[in-house]
Amino acid sequence: MTDSGATSQSVGTTQVVGNLGVLTIDYPPVNALSVHTRIALDSGFRQFAADPQVKAIVLICAGRTFIAGADISEFGKALEGPNLQDVFDSIEGGTKPVIAAIHGTALGGGYELALICHHRIAVPSAKVGLPEVALGLLPGAGGTQRLPRIVGVPAALDLITGGAPVPAPKALELGMIDALADEGKLREDAIAFAGRIVSEGGPLLRVRDRQDKVEPYRGKSEIYAEYLKKNARAFRGFKAPFNIVKAIEAAAELPFEQGMERERELFGELIASTESAAQRYYFFAEREGAKVPDLPRDVQALPIRSVGVIGAGTMGGGITMNFLNAGLPVTLVEMNQAALDRGLGVIRRNYEASAAKGRMTSERVEQRMALITPALGLEALATADLVIEAVFEEIGVKQDIFAKLDGIAKPGAILASNTSFLDLDAIAAATTRPESVIGLHFFSPANVMRLLEIVRGAKTADAVLATALKLAKTIAKVPVVSRVGHGFIANRVMSPRSQQAMELVLQGPTPQDIDRALYDYGFAMGPFAMADLVGLDVIGRGSNERTLSGDLVKLGRLGQKQGGGFYDYDEKRQPSPSPVAAQVIADFAAARGVANTGPVSAEAIVARLLYPVVNEGAKVLEEGIAIRASDIDVACILGYNWPVYTGGPMFWADTVGLTRVVDGLRAMGIEPAALLVEKAASGGSFTRN
């Protein structure tokens, strides 16, 4: 976050209204608890404490939100100004009731501050919560000790290990806030609320003093063990959820001060961990992706009010749903009625499945479906502001569509291709307006996966790129900008992982050895389980070479869907090692003249499969395909579920040490990229400043 030159004076404004003090914090963009904010809070509260006219204090924020948390950019740096705990202690130690008036998001340290206040009032659109888990942390300013005292242990476990912000009406039900203000009237309503507190004159209500919600759980350690067991899959590989559970147990078991001490200890462990460093890096990395250094700031995005999608298959359907979800009408084009009906049916079923799970109403399902105009010819796209082509991955087919589209789409319309490997410039060349052409590469399932690779062609206009970046935000995707190159970023960088797996399996390690090593590293599944899931016939498609997958397919082994693949499957699709696959592998190795050199350690398997990914990442950077190393990490984390607590391949490589990666690659007979060699030699890094 950029420091806007704020001073502590300009961040905090105090005003006395009748017998109330109103402290307004204004530290854009999100009122983070930076040094300036801490000083402003400290001096504001001191001033009101000393003012005999002030009987109660309202804490409110200017701008788009209440305090959204500690200033993450200060973590790991030397502390400046008062520490958060001292500021909080002095507020809580005061003798005048304090009312937190919340709009936007009161998150992390921001909500912890609200918990120190004696009362909390919020507008209905506000959200409150403790999202520290996403940064690999726990709420370190009393959140783990105070929230259970309000909502009880089970709810606190879910709220803090889940981290999701809670909408104000729900927060009111849970007791996380005490009252709702009218939307747009927060200040008035908070002042009126404070006035009532003063006139009622009851004792100061401090969350820390409450016992009623934690008492019933005292001495019940089985709750925590069961909770961890139930969530084993979701928590795997992360550190923070385990420390959060311990901290909440401390809230139930220990007196408040001792609980706070335990929280500090557990927070300290997390903040020093590589996992948290990786997750904090990732927080900023996600936001960097939208920044393109050579895109002039004053470029205006074009308005997008209607969208056309060509192809109602899996990809086209998923892409369409993104726009429907954002309320944008979509003209969905297919070649024949049957394909169109099939595509529409899948979209409807997806929405109905969400409705069945209670995630949306059936009325909403109909509203979304009503935004689709089905059509059978490209002519229907004449008025669309943006057209996205999602047809068969074949350059000739795509060029043909773009040439036709060129004659149909209105001037200025953006023509996008969802190609995942092809040369976007060659596609653009099929039109008379290559400046309007861009790649919008969605990942499957396109309605779920958050990554959007925006492919900037050689001639793509700045306004078109700016529009794509803005659009990503509209449809809740995380953009990463790529130049044109085979496979762009994620697909290209990740492809060595499966290539290496297919070679390594010929040398001794079994598919299950390799899959287990990658699973333990943090991937949801290894390359062989993944190949079986996708379908071995799909993987080998388009290649005439003899491959391992191809040999399995010849035996009718297509993967999970038919005959098994690298594994055998029972009727519940549970895998077991396959003697047939083992024989196919041995035969293939013999045909290739590859010797079996025996088992390999998990660590060596990980290096063998993932160092080449790092190497490819270095090449993508070197060639200028990716703007920055963190974009590669974001692409792999969001596009391939690379475990976020490793920070992605480039952050991980820096953790391992670049010299080790270079040596490892050479030992495998792979020549490391020049950039990697240079950084290793100079003690440089991809992701650490």
Please give the residue ranges that form the binding site for ligand 3HC (CB under 6 A): 1-2, 29-30, 32, 65, 68-73, 105, 107-109, 112, 131-132, 135, 137, 139-141, 143, 284, 287
CA distance 26 to 36: 10
Question: Is 2 or 544 the residue whose CB approaches ligand 3HC more closely?
Answer: 2
Judged by DSSP in three states, 21 sits in strand
CA distance 581 to 413: 51
Question: Is 247 or 620 the residue whose CB approaches ligand 3HC more closely?
Answer: 247
How many helices and strands in the chain, by DSSP H and E? 30, 19
Question: Is 3 or 400 the residue whose CB approaches ligand 3HC more closely?
Answer: 3
Find the catalytic residue in 92, 112, 263, 334: 112
CA distance 147 to 130: 9
Question: Is 132 or 249 the residue whose CB approaches ligand 3HC more closely?
Answer: 132
Least distance to ligand 3HC, CB of residue 216, Å: 26
Report yes or no: 475 and 386 within 8 Å, Cβ to Cβ. no
Least distance to ligand 3HC, CB of residue 176, Å: 15
Cis peptide before 169 (omega within 30 of 0): no
Question: Is 299 or 604 the residue whose CB approaches ligand 3HC more closely?
Answer: 299
- Would you state the structure tokens that stand for residue 196, as one six-digit string? 């009532």
Judged by DSSP in three states, 238 sits in coil
> Rg of the Cα trace of the chain?
28
Residue linked to tokens 């009032």: 121
Residue linked to tokens 């206040």: 117
Question: Is 398 or 628 the residue whose CB approaches ligand 3HC more closely?
Answer: 628
Tell me whether residue 132 is one of the annotated catalytic residues: yes
Identify the helix (H) or strand (E) that includes residue 278: helix 274-288
Least distance to ligand 3HC, CB of residue 218, Å: 25
Question: Is 129 or 509 the residue whose CB approaches ligand 3HC more closely?
Answer: 129
Least distance to ligand 3HC, CB of residue 65, Å: 6
- Would you state the structure tokens that stand for residue 120, as one six-digit string? 């909390």
Find the catalytic residue in 132, 286, 334, 453: 132
Residues 6+ apart with CB under 8 A from 604: none
CA distance 480 to 521: 25
CA distance 411 to 48: 61
CA distance 156 to 133: 13
Least distance to ligand 3HC, CB of residue 2, Å: 6
Cα dihedral sign, 177-181-183-188: negative
Tell me whether residue 80 is one of the annotated catalytic residues: no
Enumerate the active-site residues: 112, 132
